[in-house]
Structure 1
Amino acid sequence: MKTARNTLKLAPLAALLAASSAMATNGYFSHGYGMKAKGMGGVATALAQDSFGGANNPASMVFAGSRLDVGLDWFSPVRSAERSGAGFATLNGKVDSGSENFLIPEFGYNQMVRNDLSLGVSVYGNGGMNTTYPQGTFDCGGGPANMLCGSGELGVDLMQLIIAPTLAFKLNAQHSVGASLLLGYQRFKANGLQAFDNAPGFPPFSGSPGNVTNRGYDSATGAGLRVGYMGRLSDAFSIGAAYSSKVNMSKFKKYRGLFAGDGDFDIPSNYSVGVAFMPSAAWTLALDYGRINYSGVASVGNPSLPVAPLGAANGPGFGWKDVNVVKIGTAWRMNDAWTLRAGYNRGDNPITPADVTFNILAPGVMKDHYTLGFTWGAGKDSELTGALMVAPRQRVSGPSLFNGVMGPGAAGNETISMRETSLGLAWSKKF
């Protein structure tokens, strides 16, 4: 257990690094957790490949054995926003987000306490949103402005970290259950939203003026629970299921005039079911279906069209709908040293044309993700794993929210778009 104590000392460092990351793939969740899953389209619910059961399926940890997994992923989202057809020509234009490179660490440790009992921890960046648009050449009638009629740089920075202590137990040789305590930390800031902070010349959008924008970083903490089941029904076939409750977070007090519910921004509940088929010792085929319940968090799921002030319980949100995610992956054990992987991840776009304006800040429009990966056995108990993900550009267009302020058609239409690439490497040690 000395190894376990020394290894777990790395968890706070991994947590600090993960808190500096930003993601947006299946909505704002990552397309996968753990480098092996990332190389297979994110599929993981019915597999026991590493110590990231706290992010995927807690029940898998007791089949994964004693091990340490440490990785780093380079993630590059390329975002842009454009307005065209506005009656006021000074509102037209295009801007690109300047933040395009992020390093996202991952850390997992698992210890077999007995043959039928494991205790571990998974540390991971759950997801995030980050945009930094320059002011550009826009003019909303009062001089130079950014695309949302505020001043200076426009954007948000949301980061979510989960530390997941995980306990898994074998009911018998084939079936296991597990649970992870989800300890959440998040921080957020927004810039350039002065027009929504009850600025002169605009409607009184917020119920708490002065707590909408340019307040610097604020943080929140909370907790939730993930539970899971895994069944190895035969040497060739396994199944799995996992459910995560909503992670109830404390409120962003500095932004209680922006987020619905007086600054509330919980992490939504989600679930997945999966199957894996091993037709031979060399091949694995796996499929996951998952759902992320964004509509259960008011600040994310409420429609952006104002029916109440920003910050109110029923105030505007990002208008995100719940998303379904299908992940399919394959692994080929080429020889004792090399395993190759490939996968595909298809998720719904949570953003509708009616909600494009607010989502200039968070253009999580991605649908298709194509992945490749490998593992190289670097020694008897060590291995290196790599993963590549490419997500082609997606776009959503819709009428500007400012048409309701400036008059029908006056602000034209807006388009948000994004494409993504990630490339990661992880080292694993088996004990």
Structure 2
Amino acid sequence: MKMQRKNVALAIAIAAAVASPSAFATNGILQAGNGMVAHGMGGAGLANAGEASAGMDNPALINDTGTAVNVAWSYFSPLREADLSALVGGPFVVTSDAREYAIPQVAFTVKGNDLISWGMQAYALGGMNTDYPFPGAGSVSSLGVGGAQTVNLQGLIVAPQISFAFTKNISVGVSALIAKETLRTRNLFGTGDVGTGEDQETGFGLKLGANWKLLDGVALAAVYQPKMSFGEMDFFKNFLGGFGFSGDAQLTLPDQFGIGGKFAAGKNMDILLDVLYYKWSGVDVFEFFGWDDQWVYKVGAEFRPGDAWALRVGYNYGKSPIQGGNKAVNGMMDAAFANYVFPAISEQHVTLGVGYKLAKNTTVNGYFLYSPEKTVESQAAPGNPAGVKVSMSQSAFGIGLNVGF
């Protein structure tokens, strides 16, 4: 067991050093959930210790995951389209060339004794990415949007964590969040070299969680994650300063809290429900771009037709934090226009999942996610006309292996 733990710790260290999870924006810049089990149920999992990576969403759950290792990988494909016809005075629709991303996750947990469990998780910070191949000449260029425009925000969180069991039914946990993020832009908003740059910053934070098995077949959970602390993106702050930005240029995760429940519907079925709140307006950069705070609702079910199989289904809804009519850039732009290069506008997500037990302590889990097209449209503002439209649809699938010891 000692050698196994050393090998797992080494695997986490390697993952943290070399993994570069790309953008996975479904609820704002955040994923629908973490782990293959939760993803199969719309991201719901605050009260479900279905695999070692459950600790990504709620550190209290590692008290119930035992000593285990989880390795997973997701493929994410968003389709983004900007209709700037109203801006250029004629038909002009451009589609982002950035469409395929690979997103790894790694976790291990250790059951120290009946009171204490510990572990480590490595997963995507979240992010945004577009690559619009705008033409470099003609009427579009004369309006200041000519030439390809690229934005890429991505990052990784490594989270050592510990969980304490007060009783066999009540546990609490805490994760220390250590993050690294990178922002790259090219010709942002058609500003050429001024809008081209790259920066990396390190961030720190905490996630607190609790899990309470209230009755046989009923569990309740709660999590709270204060806004993470990152260094400012200096080149991005200087760029935004040209538009009147005077705030803190941290591209960080906001204050967030959530509650969840797990309810048995007979011996072979569980129903899960999570409700989360993301305070985007508490991050100066998002507030500058007109983002609303966001409530996210996740519901899922798992049906076990036999000892080996688990079938899952889920739904995730969060009203887009970017809405036409929201004021952005000190009132100079409409939010739907100001965010065309990072359109985090998805609202509905439908998921399917499956699990198969290969051996007593070894399970493979997978999921598929689809988010239908969502469009936001700008209203008239001093810096943009009415009728600029931004659209996005998404699909994703993933597979992971959970091994217990």
Instruction: Report the CA distance between 1:245 and its aligned residue.
Output: 0.9
What letter matches 1:426 in structure 2? G
Output the CA distance in 1 between the equivalents of 2:146 and 2:196: 10
Output the CA distance in 2 between the equivalents of 1:247 and 1:179: 14
Q: Is the 8 A contact 1:135 1:151 kept in 2?
A: yes
Output the CA distance in 1 between the equivalents of 2:213 and 2:202: 36
Unaligned runs of 5+ in 1: 198-209, 303-317
Residue correspondence of structure 1 range 166-205 to structure 2 within 5 A: 166-193=161-188, 195=190
Q: Say if 2:357 is the partner of 1:377.
A: yes
Q: Is the 8 A contact 1:218 1:252 kept in 2?
A: yes
Output the CA distance in 2 between the equivalents of 1:18 and 1:125: 9
Q: Which residue of 2 aligns with 1:429?
A: 403
Match of 2:339 among 334, 337, 359: 359
Output the CA distance in 2 between the equivalents of 1:358 and 1:59: 39
Q: Is the 8 A contact 1:183 1:222 kept in 2?
A: yes
Q: Which residue of 2 aligns with 1:36?
A: 37
Match of 1:301 among 287, 302, 311: 287
Runs of 4+ in structure 1 displaced over 6 angstroms? none
TM-score (normalised: structure 1): 0.86
Could you say if the C-alpha distance between residues 54 and 219 of structure 1 is closer, same or farther in structure 2, counting changes exceeding 3 Å?
Answer: farther
Instruction: Report the CA distance between 1:234 and its aligned residue.
Output: 2.2
Q: 1:99-144: CA deviations, max 9, x gaps?
A: 111011111100011122111011110211000000237645xxx6
Q: 1:312-342: CA deviations, max 9, x gaps?
A: xxxxxx2111110000000011111111100
Match of 2:377 among 390, 397, 401: 397
Output the CA distance in 2 between the equivalents of 1:226 and 1:53: 13
Residue correspondence of structure 1 range 127-206 to structure 2 within 5 A: 127-136=126-135, 139=138, 145=141, 149-193=144-188, 195=190
Could you say if the C-alpha distance between residues 345 and 194 of structure 1 is closer, same or farther in structure 2, counting changes exceeding 3 Å?
Answer: closer
Residue correspondence of structure 1 range 22-421 to structure 2 within 5 A: 22-86=23-87, 89=89, 92-136=91-135, 139=138, 145=141, 149-193=144-188, 195=190, 212-215=194-197, 217-259=198-240, 260=245, 261=247, 263-302=249-288, 318-353=289-324, 354-399=334-379, 404=382, 411-421=385-395
Instruction: Report the CA distance between 1:18 and its aligned residue.
Output: 4.3
Output the CA distance in 2 between the equivalents of 1:368 and 1:138: 37
Output the CA distance in 1 between the equivalents of 2:189 and 2:104: 34
Instruction: Report the CA distance between 1:4 and its aligned residue.
Output: 1.4
Instruction: Report the CA distance between 1:214 and its aligned residue.
Output: 1.2
Output the CA distance in 2 between the equivalents of 1:123 and 1:194: 33
Output the CA distance in 2 between the equivalents of 1:123 and 1:130: 21
Unaligned runs of 5+ in 2: 325-333
SS in structure 2 opposite 1:280?
coil
Instruction: Report the CA distance between 1:256 and its aligned residue.
Output: 2.1
SS in structure 2 opposite 1:85?
helix
Instruction: Report the CA distance between 1:22 and its aligned residue.
Output: 1.0
Output the CA distance in 1 between the equivalents of 2:231 and 2:158: 16
Instruction: Report the CA distance between 1:277 and its aligned residue.
Output: 0.6
Could you say if the C-alpha distance between residues 169 and 29 of structure 1 is closer, same or farther in structure 2, counting changes exceeding 3 Å?
Answer: same
Q: Which residue of 1 aligns with 2:329?
A: none
Instruction: Report the CA distance between 1:195 and its aligned residue.
Output: 4.9
SS in structure 1 opposite 2:195?
coil
Q: Is the 8 A contact 1:84 1:412 kept in 2?
A: no
Output the CA distance in 2 between the equivalents of 1:392 and 1:13: 36
Output the CA distance in 2 between the equivalents of 1:399 and 1:134: 25
Instruction: Report the CA distance between 1:254 and its aligned residue.
Output: 2.4
TM-score (normalised: structure 2): 0.91
Output the CA distance in 2 between the equivalents of 1:367 and 1:122: 27
What letter matches 1:153 in structure 2? A
Greater shift in the superposed pair: 119-128 or 149-158: 149-158
Output the CA distance in 2 between the equivalents of 1:156 and 1:118: 40
SS in structure 2 opposite 1:15?
helix
Q: Is the 8 A contact 1:340 1:373 kept in 2?
A: yes
Instruction: Report the CA distance between 1:145 and its aligned residue.
Output: 2.4
Q: 1:212-250: CA deviations, max 9, x gaps?
A: 5212x3101111110011011222100000000111101
What letter matches 1:293 in structure 2? K
Output the CA distance in 1 between the equivalents of 2:189 and 2:310: 52
What letter matches 2:268 in structure 1? A
What letter matches 1:2 in structure 2? M
Output the CA distance in 1 between the equivalents of 2:51 and 2:221: 15
SS in structure 2 opposite 1:265?
coil
Q: Which residue of 1 aligns with 2:327?
A: none
Q: 1:41-61: CA deviations, max 9, x gaps?
A: 000111111222442111111
Q: Which residue of 2 aligns with 1:205?
A: none
SS in structure 1 opposite 2:339?
helix
SS in structure 1 opposite 2:131?
coil
Output the CA distance in 2 between the equivalents of 1:126 and 1:185: 8
Output the CA distance in 1 between the equivalents of 2:19 and 2:343: 21
What letter matches 1:248 in structure 2? S
| RMSD between aligned residues | 2.0
Q: Which residue of 2 aligns with 1:306?
A: none
Output the CA distance in 1 between the equivalents of 2:209 and 2:13: 25
